[in-house]
Amino acid sequence: MAKVEYDLKTYICQHMSAEIGTDIQKAAELLIEGKVVGIPTETVYGLAANALNTDAVADIFRIKNRPDFDPLIVHIADISQVELYASLFHEKAVKLAEAFWPGPLTLVLPKRNNIPFSVTSGLDTVGLRIPRHSLTLELLKQLPFPLAAPSANPFGYISPTIAQHVADQLGELIPYILDGGPCTVGVESTIVGFDKSFNPVIYRKGMITLNMIERVVGKTQVFTHSQSNPQAPGMLTSHYAPRTPLKIISSNDNTNNFSNRTGFLGFDAYHPLIPQNNQILLSPSGDIFEAARNLYASLRILDKLGLDVIYCSLIIGIPGAEALNDRLRRASV
């Protein structure tokens, strides 16, 4: 792998690969020093730093090559901490937090002044979440500050779901990756904000579905597509993409010119006209949760095969498939 030239004066670890381990203490010490550390969550691995330290936050953006208009989610340990960072924790937000935290749901609330505008990309709201991962919850409990943590991948590329994915792409730029095993959910959190009347709006789809949210707080709008100046840049269409072009076809499509340089990402069945060596099934038993856990790792494997094109089909008629179909659409060209 080519050595990355990176001008980060604070990083003595340049040109060395990050240590991967399970030492919460070590992760905590580095974060207290203002360093950026890879952390596990149930959704995807995060690139974490002290959310209240603007230098540390700036390093997250540099390491990811993330545009400054894309706000970071702030991770907290306990629901009682919401009011430290949000100026208003209204009834519907409380209900959603109580129903789904710790878990793959981010709530967008009016921010307090202690959250830097660099974290929120200038917005006066902050995305807050309690992740459901024992190592990271333990880490958050030990820290005297919350953790800003976007997904630990270069901007626009596939999100990481094991520690090694983080090391492969960002290992030379960070000192430590806390290894919490494979992510149990596998796609990014559902992001819910609120309109002026405090009615919920889904900004990004996740494994906590519209149905699940409406059961708790009633009628919810979905507003997840925006080309420019997005409320939630998880809305950007070209997100989460492999380098090899990914194209969506209908599952019974046989009009394409398939070759031995064609790949296929299937849900539960192989494509009959594509070489099976070039195919991965997300869940042979048709389990949507297993498929979500396998999505990004499978895209990475197919991407490494150096194929001309990877085809996939949207998952039809399976409850809970919205988030996967959303990510497939965004990753496709």
What are the residues binding ligand AMP (CB under 6 A)?
A: 70-71, 73, 106, 108, 120, 123, 125-127, 150-151, 188, 191, 193, 203-204, 231-234
Considering only residues 206 through 265, tell me which ones interact with Mg ion, judged by CB under 5 A: none
DSSP 127-169: EEE----HHHHHHHHH-SS-EE--BSS-TTBPPP-SHHHHHHH
Q: How far is the CB of 284 from ligand AMP (least distance, A)?
A: 28
Q: Which helix (H) or strand (E) holds 10?
A: none
Q: Which is nearer to Mg ion, 73 or 135 (CB)?
A: 73
Contact assessment for residue 161 and residue 44, using Cβ atoms and an 8 Å cutoff: yes
Shortest approach of ligand AMP to residue 200 CB, angstroms? 13
What single string gives the DSSP state of each residue in 60-88? HHHHHT--TTSPPEEE-S-GGGHHHHBS-
**Among residues 150 and 171, whose Cβ is nearest to ligand AMP?**
150
Which CB, 108 or 331, lies closer to ligand AMP? Answer: 108
Q: Which does 126 bind (CB under 5 to 8 A by kind): Mg ion, ligand AMP, none?
A: ligand AMP
State in angstroms the smallest separation of the CB of 148 from ligand AMP.
9
Q: Which two tokens stand for residue 141?
A: 């409990």
Beta strand 200-204 with 73-75 is unpaired
- Give least dist CB 135 to ligand AMP, A: 18
Q: What are the residues whose beta carbons fall under 8 Å from the beta carbon of 261, sequence distance 6 or more?
A: 278, 307, 308, 309
Please identify, using beta-carbon distances, which residue of 86 and 241 lies nearer to Mg ion: 241
151 binds Mg ion (CB under 5 A): yes
Write down the least CB distance from residue 283 to ligand AMP, Å.
23
Shortest distance (Å) from residue 36 CB to Mg ion: 15
171: amino acid identity, one letter: G
Copy the structure tokens of residue 250. Answer: 């209908």
Q: Which is nearer to Mg ion, 172 or 188 (CB)?
A: 188
Any alpha helices (H) in the chain, and if so which ranges? 24-32, 54-64, 82-85, 91-100, 117-120, 134-142, 163-170, 210-217, 288-304, 322-331
The stretch among 10-18, 21-29, 144-152, 225-233 that binds Mg ion (CB under 5 A) is 144-152
State which residue, 151 or 298, has the beta carbon closest to Mg ion.
151
The span of 73-81, 147-155, 165-173, 313-321 binding Mg ion (CB under 5 A) equals 147-155
Interface positions with Mg ion (CB under 5 A): 151
